[in-house]
A and B are shown apart, each in its own frame.
Chain A
Amino acid sequence: MSRYRHDERPAIAYLFLSPWVAGALLLTIGPMLASLYLSFTDYDLFTTPAWVGLDNYRRMLTEDDRFLASVWVTLRYVLISTPLKLAAALGVALLLNRASRVQGAYRSAFYAPSLLGTSVAVALVWRAIFDRQGVVERTFAALGIETGGWTTNPRLALIVLVLLAVWQFGAPMVIFLAGLKQIPPELYDASAVDGAGWWRTFRSVTLPMLSPVILFNLVLETIHAFQSFTPAYIVSNGRGGPSDSTLFYTLYLYQRGFTEFRMGYASAMAWLLLAVIAVVTALVFRTARLWVFYSGEEPR
């Protein structure tokens, strides 16, 4: 790290920062503080908020069964979908990380599901595939396993959403591919000279060299999974069903705020989520010291 430069005038820095500062003041801090304030009030969107202190937080944590249900659904979703998605992304990136004339085409094809986003059409397609008599059920039935429709089975519905998340692994895949390209080929040559097999090379060269990228993807995908809303919203038509089995935290927050007009409560939920994500992110960074390997001279 270079020494502090005395000749630099901080004014210049703020000049560069001015659009961001303007945006933060105008569009971010105001609304954020507003939602923090609202989290201590009873606010139905149309009339003046009434101060209730910590009541929203208390009710959330002690009285609200659906809140707890949504927490469990979300935790399960985060814990299952994030590793699976990263594994899929890494696996495909490893597969594609070799010279070929058609590599660009493959890469685009693997990215295609992520280009679709989460539109009504995707929801319909996804529902149809996992529906009663859909291709998934018929495949399992051919294997002698009777599953019924997946989206309408409380025990399987969450899996459908996990698979939807995993299916759209394009962004982390691209980032992994890029990370793989950064690994100096000499390391692989050395490993080959040692007579190491594929698995040992993967463990002793690829994984350590890739660990910073894994960290980056892990952090962003975890945040993303915690905040996941649209997939559950469109697949369950905004309800989080069947039997609350896909009631994501943000979906419940949305229901509270926009269909039940309890924006104070919804704001409290948002701030609790912010706190949880912050803690989880901090924990991930903390453990990262144990497994992330920095090759550069400037570990940060």
Chain B
Amino acid sequence: MSTLTMALTSRRARRAVWHLVCLGLLAALLYPVAWLVGMSFKPAEEIVSSLSILPKQIIGSNYAEAFQGSSGISIWRFFANSVIVAGGCVAGNLLSCSLAAYAFAKLRFRLRGPLFAFMIATIMLPYHVMLIPQYTIFQKLGLVDTFIPLILPKFLATDAFFVFLIVQFMRGLPRDLSDAARIDGCGPVRAFRSVILPLSRPALVTTAIFTFIWTWNDFLMQLIYLNDPGKYTLPLALRLYVDQTSESSYGPMFAMSVLTLVPIVLFFFAFQRLLVEGVATTGLNG
């Protein structure tokens, strides 16, 4: 009896300690985030002159200004553009990376080894030197100032990281399943569509979430390829508030940052369970 109560209290105590540790760590980790939110409620002159996290007076005008958009373009337009780009990239990566990964993981062909090595090598080259040649290509094709240079590469599986991730997952899939499909007379195409792809869902979810978050935050590619402010995405719009050669509107910029953060936080919160599950079954140790 007494040992049971002791065990219970000690378990409860351990749980409490656990919560305390988690919350303590989070307090430290989220301090900068809180600071960011605090800034978004500060008047402009306080932002540059004071380092305190709490505003002396809370104002909403930064948000009002952020919601007005920038240079005659509504904030919803920026949101919509970002959603189109991020959505297009997610679709592209899912489709092309899974196709390529299936070939690398499950099919045999003569050049598999070298091509796979080449694919891994493409992760290693700094992108800055590829920028101008790639831009030249899209410029020659007349595709600059459209979303195509941002989305098309994803449909062509240029994100080798994800191909690699899905390959590792598919390699870990139980062999008997694909064998069964084969015995049923499925060709590789049907096996891919009706067995491998559904089974790879967790890896695909991982790919989708990481792609979404990364393209949502990407700045450089969008800067280079989009000219018309009407096509600007959120990261570009954010930078429109800050210019070191003229006056910067830090208040609306912080407000806009917070607003930009909201969709991906929600997105992550909704999908994080699937994300963990996704990697959990990924054959990382394969």
Contact = CB atoms under 8 A, between A and B. Distances in A.
A and B in direct contact, judged by CB atoms within 8 A: yes
Interface of A: 2, 4-5, 8, 10, 12-14, 16-20, 22-24, 26-28, 30-32, 34-35, 38, 45, 92, 95-96, 98, 100, 104-113, 115-122, 124-126, 128-129, 131, 133-135, 167, 171, 174-175, 177-179, 181-182, 211-213, 216, 220, 223, 227, 229, 237, 250, 253-254, 257-258, 263, 266-267, 270-271, 273-274, 277-278, 281, 294-296, 298, 300
Given A10-B109, A115-B213, A174-B279, A263 B155 contact: no
B199 interface: no
Instruction: Say whether chain A's binding surface is mostly helix, strand, loop, or mixed.
Output: helix
- Point out which of B30, B260, B268 has the most chain A C-beta atoms below 10 A from its C-beta: B268
- Point out which of A13, A113, A121, A135 has the most chain B C-beta atoms below 10 A from its C-beta: A121
13 contacts: A20-B99, A27-B134, A27-B137, A104-B269, A104-B272, A109-B29, A119-B260, A174-B279, A179-B279, A182-B280, A212-B284, A250-B128, A267-B129
A12 B187 contact: yes
A175 B158 CA distance: 22
Given A135-B31, A253-B126, A263 B132 contact: yes
A135 B32 CA distance: 10
A121 B188 CA distance: 48
Given A31-B133, A212-B285, A270-B126, 6 more contacts: A19-B100, A24-B158, A32-B122, A121-B36, A223-B124, A296-B172
A16 B188 contact: yes
Contact of B110 (A10, A131, A167, A298): A10
Given A12-B189, A175-B279, A23 B108 contact: no
Contacts of B278: 178
Contacts of B171: 300
Nearest to B192: A16
B238 A121 contact: yes
- Point out which of B21, B102, B188, B239 has the most chain A C-beta atoms below 10 A from its C-beta: B188
B126 A273 contact: yes
B157 A20 contact: yes
Contact of B254 (A4, A121, A133, A270): A121
A48 B115 CA distance: 32
B165 to A, nearest CB: 9
A104 B273 contact: yes
A98 B192 CA distance: 35
B121 interface: yes
Contacts of B129: 31, 35, 38, 253, 257, 263, 266-267, 270
A285 B26 CA distance: 34
B25 A92 contact: yes
A293 to B, nearest CB: 9
A122 to B, nearest CB: 8
Contact of A108 (B115, B188, B253, B272): B272
B109 to A, nearest CB: 4
Contacts of B168: 216
A23 B26 CA distance: 42
B230 interface: no
A113 B32 contact: yes
B70 interface: no
Interface string B133-145: 1100100000000
Given A27-B156, A112-B265, A117-B217, A16 B124 contact: no
B107 A8 contact: yes
A178 B282 contact: yes
B183 interface: no
A103 B167 CA distance: 29
Interface in B254-281: 254, 257, 260-261, 264-265, 268-269, 272-273, 275-281
- Point out which of B99, B124, B171 has the most chain A C-beta atoms below 10 A from its C-beta: B124
B33 A35 contact: no
A125 B157 CA distance: 35
Nearest to A278: B124
A20 B268 contact: no
B276 A177 contact: yes
A48 B145 CA distance: 26
A129 B276 contact: no
Contacts of B26: 106, 109-110
Contacts of B88: none
Given A16-B192, A23-B158, A254 B235 contact: no
B133 A174 contact: no
Given A115-B264, A119-B257, A295-B285, A13 B108 contact: yes
B284 A32 contact: no
